[in-house]
Structure 1
Amino acid sequence: MKIDENTTPLLTVDHLKQYFKVSGSFTVKAVEDVSFKIYPGETYGLVGESGSGKSTIGRSIIRLYDPTAGEIQFNGLDISGKMSKSDSQTLRTQMQMIFQDPMASLNPRKKVEDIIGEGLDIHHKCKNKEERDEMVKAILAKVGLAPEHATRYPHQFSGGQRQRIGIARALIMNPKLIIADECISALDVSIQAQVVNLMKDIQQETGTAYLFIAHDLSMVKYISDRIGVLHLGHLLETGTTDEIFENPIHPYTKSLLSAIPTPNPIVEKTRSAESYDYATSGIDYTLGTEHHVGGTHYVKCTDEEFAKWNV
């Protein structure tokens, strides 16, 4: 998908910070000064190693956490501070989340029809039970499940099927943005491909935008229009998929891409991954500012580092 920067962004995150106070003398700075935009109908991939703050950003955007600082604009609404009842209603209907663990995120005591239809019940989207049942069956068919699955419980499904239930629960509200928080990491590789293809098909059909959080770079490359690289809570580099994969600027981005295994055993034998250690790199993320490389490609660094890297 070609991004037109003249289009009004669906989601704008400006200088987001998310801190967690552990004790009187120690605070975890999980997210530090992160800014990015997501446009209608696009997929923005957020990548980085475990503990880099990817899931925290997703949870802050959907307001499962109250942001420490920064501004979040969603579809023209400021959702970063205290929200009115109508703004909260808009957020809960137009933004949905697919969680990482497909079992832990489904209520084991509820049938699938009640799990998927819970949003419809809360926001009074159906006139009667018949209409609700029809909507649930239609969304089950869209994600590749049968109507009879509606009366079963989560433990009666495989991991891939549970994740499809999670996708159906998010889709039934017809949201403008879905936050997919490592929604394929717990699945087998063949099932991952099925789920990602399903998400792409649904996006083409409905025009939903995705914030796709993952650490599998190959899958992110396949599904994303643009990519943001996160490390230690800082967004180090962002750009289109081609810009990031063909011309990585930041040493951390280069180290991530060099670690992707190659399916060709001859090439894989001679492949060497670049090492990167923040402690010994001499780079201070807190001093970095956003530098424009070209197109939609930006890198966070000092002027001296940018002059040295941008060759």
Structure 2
Amino acid sequence: MTEEKLLEVKNLKQHFKTGRRQVVKAVDGISFDIYKGETFGLVGESGCGKSTTGRTIIRLYDATDGQVIFNGKDVHGKKSRGQLKEFNQKMQMIFQDPYASLNPRMTVMDIIAEGLDVHGLTKTPQERKARVEELLERVGLNKEHANRYPHEFSGGQRQRIGIARALAVNPEFIIADEPISALDVSIQAQVVNLLKDLQKEHGLTYLFIAHDLSMVKYISDRIGVMYFGKMVELADSEELYKNPIHPYTKSLLSAIPLPDPDYERNRKRIVYDPSQHDISEAPEFREVRPNHWVLCTTKEFETYKTEFQNK
């Protein structure tokens, strides 16, 4: 992993109006960077804003405020059709639901080749067919599958088709939005291992969004934890698991089951209570340890630092 920034998210906000006066702050001022070649895990419970973050980065939603800088260029700035096309080729998405994200009326060949056609990446029908077959085999499917329709495949196979579709245009950056949560547990590890192999082969950079912390640890270099639209903690994967600081992160980690009956019998769930924080001061994102950031007040910051010194 190089220390070259591929993506910079600066004070990103995504607010939705739900009524005349009601606004849902799905993403409320988060900032983080993703470096070339790394996997950045984004975790949190359902409704915390992590999928909205991914969709805003890739322009499926227009940002309410803040900036997304990709390869030094502002994603949400005004763009010509040519610039949009270039951006869409460099950044791709794998969606959560492999049942809903594939057009049931299209063959697998046409689903995967859609990006090739849009970007003019193949010159002849033979070249197009060969590229799709190559992609199918790379994601663990047979080239004979190209003429079938999505309903003829299992969930895991459909997600592989979604991965092949994302890969077709040779992207630099892939947002994987809960790509394994709709899959059977036995298939999840296969799909994650495939993503890891593809990353090595193609030098890909991932934003991996999930609520399953154990799988996120396995694939991610660094992890950001979201709670109600805010980033509450960000650290290297190992560091976050060994030394969680924010009470919400501790709560999430305490919920991970382990294949140890004795441990499970005595496992204590930590329940997060947001009211434990001092609300007289707005919390800020602060570096408690090198490269370990936590959303906290000045008083909490001093407490966390003292706790670490006493460890």
When the two structures are superposed, what TM-score results if normalisation uses the length of structure 1?
0.96
Q: 8 Å contact 1:16–1:69 — kept in the other structure?
A: yes
Q: For structure 1, which segment, 103-112 or 256-265, has the greater mean C-alpha deviation from structure 2 after superposition? A: 256-265
Q: 8 Å contact 1:234–1:285 — kept in the other structure?
A: no
What amino acid is the match of 2:28? E
Question: Alpha-carbon deviation of 1:286?
Answer: 8.5
1:62 maps onto 2:58 in alignment: yes
What amino acid is the match of 1:30? A
**Post-superposition CA distance 1:91-139 (Å, at most 9, x none):** 1100000000001000000000000000010111111111111110111
Partner of 1:270: 266
Which of 6, 20, 25 matches 2:21?
25
Which of 219, 223, 247 matches 1:251?
247
* Structure-2 separation of matches of 1:130 and 1:92: 25
SS where residue 287 of structure 1 aligns? Answer: coil
* Structure-2 separation of matches of 1:295 and 1:90: 36
* Structure-1 separation of matches of 2:265 and 2:194: 34
| Residues 1:301 and 1:291: Cα distance change in structure 2 (over 3 Å) | same
* Structure-2 separation of matches of 1:202 and 1:99: 17
**Post-superposition CA distance 1:271-295 (Å, at most 9, x none):** 10111122x3235598111211233
**Post-superposition CA distance 1:150-185 (Å, at most 9, x none):** 000000000000000000000111111100000100
1:175 maps onto 2:175 in alignment: no
Partner of 2:10: 14
1:307 maps onto 2:302 in alignment: yes
Partner of 1:211: 207
* Structure-2 separation of matches of 1:282 and 1:266: 33
Partner of 2:90: 94
1:112 maps onto 2:108 in alignment: yes
* Structure-2 separation of matches of 1:106 and 1:283: 47
Partner of 2:44: 48
Q: 8 Å contact 2:104–2:150 — kept in the other structure?
A: yes
* Structure-2 separation of matches of 1:123 and 1:137: 18
* Structure-1 separation of matches of 2:281 and 2:101: 35
Percent of matched pairs sharing the same residue: 58
| Residues 1:21 and 1:286: Cα distance change in structure 2 (over 3 Å) | farther
1:298 maps onto 2:293 in alignment: yes
Partner of 1:85: 81
What amino acid is the match of 1:268? E
Q: 8 Å contact 1:45–1:226 — kept in the other structure?
A: yes
| Unaligned ranges ≥5, structure 1 | none
Paired residues in the alignment total 306
Partner of 2:218: 222
Question: Alpha-carbon deviation of 1:23?
Answer: 1.7
* Structure-2 separation of matches of 1:64 and 1:173: 18
Partner of 1:233: 229
Compute the RMSD of aligned alpha carbons: 1.3
Q: 8 Å contact 1:44–1:226 — kept in the other structure?
A: yes
Partner of 1:146: 142
SS where residue 10 of structure 1 aligns? Answer: strand
SS where residue 126 of structure 1 aligns? Answer: coil
What amino acid is the match of 1:221? K
